[in-house]
Homo-oligomer: A and B are copies of this chain.
Amino acid sequence: MTTISPPLGRRLAAEAVGTAALAAVVVGSGARAAALTEDGGVRFLATVGASALALTVLIQLLGPVSGGHFNPLVTAGAWWAGRRGGDGPGLREFGAYAAAQTAGAVLGTGLANAMFERPFAEPSGQARDGGALWLGEVVATGTLLLVVSGLDRSRRGALVPAAVGLWVGAACWATSSGGFANPAVTVGRALTDSYTGISAGSVPGFVLAQVVGAAAGVALAGLLFRPGRTAAVPADARELVPGPR
């Protein structure tokens, strides 16, 4: 099926709006949870749950407009997947997407700050460093890209909104770092000194780990899913018993 893309400006607006909404939910839910309870487990349940729900809705809503990436590494994965066939974004388009996503994340963080009576932008004092946390970001981002790229390679893109939401709900709990897994939102979160913040000095390490993880996830998807040698799979296909039936 050939789809006519909306013009670039509208796609960038959709990426900025979606990433802003995502960042506002991450930061806002963290601020609200921290105000409501002292229990760290309940705080994390609330923040991760709200973020996962928001991601699913936003990807579903805006996917037909811009692809619903809201994450430069997802856009990079789409560029990588389409670099030969010409059906992905070009490098210049990748840059524009990443800029729109980062601007959106900063805007959304500011909106959350304002809703909770904080300055629009403020430096976070919360250091998040060290090999264990970086490994956490590698795992969280790697598995996220494995899910997105794997579904894309097997032509099941319609499953991405639900799968990303469900996976983020699991991966944030599973990883020591809390599963940021998104350079744009990581930059945004450097601008709030609330529960979900990250100090500016910890951002480069997190982003680098995310890039490494994304590359690994895309590579793993390439090994497990071979579109050239596999028949197209219907959107909800799942066979309990592999083999002819």
Contact = CB atoms under 8 A, between A and B. Distances in A.
Contacts of A161: 238
A176 B28 contact: yes
Interface in A220-245: 220, 223-226, 230-231, 233, 235-245
In this complex, the interface size class of chain A, counting residues with CB under 8 Å from chain B, is: 35 or more
Given A21-B143, A54-B170, A139-B111, A243 B89 contact: yes
B139 A239 contact: no
Contacts of A78: 240-241
A70 to B, nearest CB: 12
B244 A57 contact: no
A65 interface: yes
Given A42-B37, A49-B169, A114-B132, A32 B64 contact: no
B67 A14 contact: no
A29 interface: yes
Given A2-B245, A64-B233, A241-B78, A53 B225 contact: no
A197 interface: no
Contacts of A24: 139, 174
A189 interface: no
23 contacts: A3-B242, A4-B230, A4-B231, A6-B226, A25-B171, A29-B174, A36-B40, A39-B42, A41-B43, A53-B170, A54-B171, A57-B167, A61-B147, A63-B240, A64-B237, A66-B242, A87-B245, A89-B242, A115-B175, A117-B132, A160-B238, A161-B238, A235-B236
Given A53-B166, A88-B243, 14 more contacts: A10-B224, A11-B242, A41-B45, A42-B42, A42-B45, A50-B174, A51-B170, A54-B171, A61-B151, A64-B239, A81-B240, A82-B243, A114-B132, A115-B135
Interface of A: 1-6, 10-11, 13-14, 17, 21, 24-25, 28-29, 31-33, 35-37, 39-47, 49-51, 53-54, 56-57, 59-68, 74, 78, 81-82, 87-89, 111-112, 114-117, 132, 135-136, 139, 143, 146-148, 150-152, 154, 157-161, 163, 165-167, 169-171, 173-177, 220, 223-226, 230-231, 233, 235-245
Closest 6 CB pairs of A and B: A37-B41, A28-B174, A36-B40, A63-B238, A54-B170, A29-B173
